[in-house]
Amino acid sequence: MASSSTPAPAPARPPLPSLDAGGLRKLESYRAELATSGATARVLRPVLEDQRRPSGTTYLAAAPALTAEPVPESNLKVELEWDGTCQRALLRLGEAAHLYGGGSGGAGLERTGRSARLWARAGSESEPASEAPHVHPLVLALRVDGSALAAFADSARDGTLRCGTSEFEFTLEAEPFDLWIVEAADVRVALAALRELLGPCALPPQWALGHQHLVRGVDSASALLEHARRLRARHLPCDVLRLDDAVLERGRPFTWSRNGFEEPARALDELREAGFHALIPLEPALPVGKHYPAHKSGLDGEHFVLDSRGHALRARAEHGASSFPDFSQESARGWWASLAEKHAESGLDGYWSDTNLPHLPAVPCGSLPPEALHRGQGGGAHARFHNATARHWSAATRDGLSQARPTLRPFVLSRGADLGSARGAATWVASQRASWEELRTQLARVLSLGLCGQPIAGIEVGGRHGTPSPELLARWHELAALLPLALDAGRELFGHGQEADRAIKAALERRMRFLPTLASLALDAHRTGLPIVRPMFLADPADRALRELDDQFLLGEDVVVAPVLQPTATQRTVVLPSSPSGGWFLFDGGRDLLPAGRYTVEAPLGRTPIFVRAGRILVTRPVAPHVAAQREEDPELHVYFDPRQRAVGSLHEDDGESSAVRATTTEFSARLARGRVVIDAFADGREVVDRAWHVHAHGLPAVRN
């Protein structure tokens, strides 16, 4: 991290202009060298005339120690202004740049020339592109030469983000905020530096990377087990069943239906024996009820948000009049964790939430009313805490799971997220409508979340409203197959016609084959902050032709995936970036080395164009019904030789479920010896001699394996 020396006292400051006149802030400016080589972070910390300070660090996992060294001169110019109501931070870059960030709202990856409101909301069927439960007041600017600047506002307030061509601006309400700025010559180093500031993403158990199927309306253990048996009978790979609130007693969090789930532990054990893990819904709204222990304990402990009279606020949520946890209070977060801990003793595997922001459909703002009051972190109106609700919910829920099973890796899935949420939960982009337009926007949103420090993210397949055509549903599964998380919206995985059923099954099987690579990249993301799926410009940050591509992506740094996102298409255009190893091979059956360029490739239903960098070794495993069964299969090494007839690769592995991560890194190298492929493997520096590999060589004529 940074130096541990104590910051030097700030120099004496001249009097500031009257705040009522909208005077400029006087800034304290520090520089911090991060442990990530090549990145510099600095914070602009406003001091107002009345010495009012920002209300404490909102996002940082651990702020680096700061020294009073002068900030280096650069083309960057920063203007901070306070008008008594809002703080404005305008960053002028001095040159045109490509801008990214802001969360998942909007239809495309690049934000240049766009504006967005920084207020978490659920969206609606009629406005799918505005759906933005992920609010990240962060911008990543990619300069002409490939260097990068990232800036974020340390605030959970309502506001706006405006992006121009050579500048961007945060405007946030009601109180000052610290502005953090990271600069690096390489955008990948800047992303790693953001990880140091915001904290590492929570590493999911490996089963969470398998397909997650939503089970709707199943209100008994027998019906749930029958649903699971049908999936297995169809030989469809699936690891996770997300249950809806039909399994709860009258939709109440931390309960089980007394009529259908009298013995939940037994039912969940039977699911695990079949290779399924169950996620239980958990929303931050506790219905009012005299005989509901969770609500009573919340009242007794004073853990709820208050109304203007100082009473626990009541408002109508999905399951009637409800009270809402005040996550701004440490005591309330501990209470929530204790409820989750006790509930998890029934054997559930994790929690998920579709509306872990206070969601009140009848209220114009969609959230708690403005007069709702919080008591923690200095207290205040709900607007001050709204955007942080999902993050606090995620952390408290994760704590409860960890307390229930300290040796196992908890998994929490949160639809809402803001900066720092990745420390507690994974997230996904919901699909409101069953449309091709919705499909096309989802990839860009996941890529944007990865740049905002949320690498464990995925999409929801199929749309919540309307009926997708068999072709659309199959293409949706094909896109999800190689994203960090793959969830469906509860539509059947079969029964859509022979061609579509075959394509959907192929997509689920493709995901199983790539699970070793996805798990390895998840561990790498946890350690480094680099996204699992990445925008194409990360392959060559100086190549401006890659900066607006958001219909294809990198899986790690060595795989290009080009999903089909248009109706009736049987071909698609793919852009392959430059590669020091000479080019790229088609993953399945590619014999020809393709240099950088634009290609039109065959992509009938059931096939996704995937390319692997020459000189690399990709690890897969045979298809299995679930992760636990796949672990019994020997890995497969796909060797893509470069023109020098060499290839290298690596794989991070752990047991996939322990909270104490003890990973082994195996380094591979491949060469030819007397016409045969020879694999050298070293695990943490020691040669691997007792492990079987199935080797598939590409790029060599008539090679004997």
| 5 confidence band (pLDDT: 50, 70, 90) | very low
Average pLDDT over residues 411-437: 93
pLDDT score at 122:
66
Q: Could you tell me which of 148, 336, 360 has the C-alpha nearest to residue 253?
A: 336
pLDDT score at 51:
44
- Burial of residue 157 (number of CB atoms within 10 Å: 0-12, 13-18, 19+): buried
- Which residues, in sequence order, are CB contacts of 558 under 8 Å at separation 6+? 612, 613, 616, 618, 649
Task: Count other C-beta atoms under 10 Å from residue 115's C-beta.
Answer: 15
- Residue 165 maps to a domain: yes
d(CA 68, CA 6): 9
What are the backbone dihedrals phi and psi of residue 54, each rounded to the nearest 5 degrees, phi first?
-60, 150
- Which residues, in sequence order, are CB contacts of 454 under 8 Å at separation 6+? 134, 136, 201, 417, 421, 422, 427
- Residue 181 maps to a domain: yes
- Residue 470 maps to a domain: no
Range of the domain at 143: 19-198
**What would the 3-class secondary structure string for 55-104 be?**
CCCCCCCCCCCCECCCCCCCCCEEEEEECCCEEEEEEECCCCCEEEEEEC
Q: Could you tell me which of 461, 465, 421 has the C-alpha nearest to residue 443?
A: 461
> In this structure, are residues 546 and 576 in contact, taking their beta carbons and an 8 Å threshold?
no
Task: Count other C-beta atoms under 10 Å from residue 632's C-beta.
Answer: 9
Distances (CA, A) of 586 to 110, 509, 612: 28, 18, 6
- Burial of residue 166 (number of CB atoms within 10 Å: 0-12, 13-18, 19+): middle
Length of the chain: 705
pLDDT score at 126:
44
- Residue 166 maps to a domain: yes
Strand bridging mode 315-317 / 320-323: antiparallel
Average pLDDT over residues 509-521: 97
pLDDT score at 6:
34
- Which residues, in sequence order, are CB contacts of 65 under 8 Å at separation 6+? 1, 2, 3, 4, 5, 7, 32
What are the backbone dihedrals phi and psi of residue 271, each rounded to the nearest 5 degrees, phi first?
-60, -45
Say whether pLDDT at 701 is over 70.
no
- CATH at residue 179: 2.60.40.1760
Of 30-39, 177-186, 246-255, 541-550, least confident by mean pLDDT is: 30-39
- If one counts the domains in the chain, the total is 1
Average pLDDT over residues 495-505: 97
Q: What residue has token string 């000189």?
A: 615
> In this structure, are residues 264 and 398 in contact, taking their beta carbons and an 8 Å threshold?
no
Which amino acid, residue 650? S
> In this structure, are residues 570 and 604 in contact, taking their beta carbons and an 8 Å threshold?
yes
- Residue 430 maps to a domain: no
Instruction: With H, G, I as helix, E, B as strand and everything else as coil, classify residue 179.
Output: strand
Q: And the tokens for 55?
A: 């209300």
| Average pLDDT over the chain, rounded to an integer | 87
Quick one: which H or E segment has residue 172?
strand 167-173
- Residue 122 maps to a domain: yes
d(CA 98, CA 547): 7
pLDDT score at 85:
83
Say whether pLDDT at 20 is over 50.
no
> In this structure, are residues 141 and 149 in contact, taking their beta carbons and an 8 Å threshold?
yes
d(CA 482, CA 490): 19
Percentage of the chain exceeding pLDDT 70: 88
Average pLDDT over residues 441-452: 95
| 705 confidence band (pLDDT: 50, 70, 90) | very low
This prediction has a pTM of: 0.91
- Burial of residue 49 (number of CB atoms within 10 Å: 0-12, 13-18, 19+): middle
Average pLDDT over residues 417-434: 92
| 30 confidence band (pLDDT: 50, 70, 90) | low
Average pLDDT over residues 2-30: 35
pLDDT score at 38:
77
Average pLDDT over residues 82-89: 83
Average pLDDT over residues 81-100: 89
- Residue 43 maps to a domain: yes
Task: Count other C-beta atoms under 10 Å from residue 489's C-beta.
Answer: 21
Task: Count other C-beta atoms under 10 Å from residue 704's C-beta.
Answer: 8
Strand order in the sheet with 315-317: 286-287, 320-323, 315-317
- Residue 527 maps to a domain: no
Say whether pLDDT at 480 is over 80.
yes
> In this structure, are residues 616 and 647 in contact, taking their beta carbons and an 8 Å threshold?
yes
| 74 confidence band (pLDDT: 50, 70, 90) | low
Percentage of the chain exceeding pLDDT 90: 69
Q: Could you tell me which of 127, 210, 201, 208 has the C-alpha nearest to residue 417?
A: 201
E strands present in 93-166:
98-103, 115-117, 134-142, 148-154, 159-163
Name the range with the highest mean pLDDT among 13-27, 101-115, 302-316: 302-316
For residues 431-456, b (16+ Cβ closer than 10 Å) or e, as one string?
A: bbbbbbebbbbbbbbbbbbbbbbbbb
Which amino acid, residue 290? K
pLDDT tens profile 639-698: 999 999 999 999 999 999 999 988 999 999 999 988 889 999 999 889 998 888 899 999
Q: And the tokens for 328?
A: 């701004």
pLDDT tens profile 585-625: 999 877 889 999 999 999 999 999 999 999 999 999 999 99
pLDDT score at 60:
57
Q: What residue has token string 């290839």?
A: 647
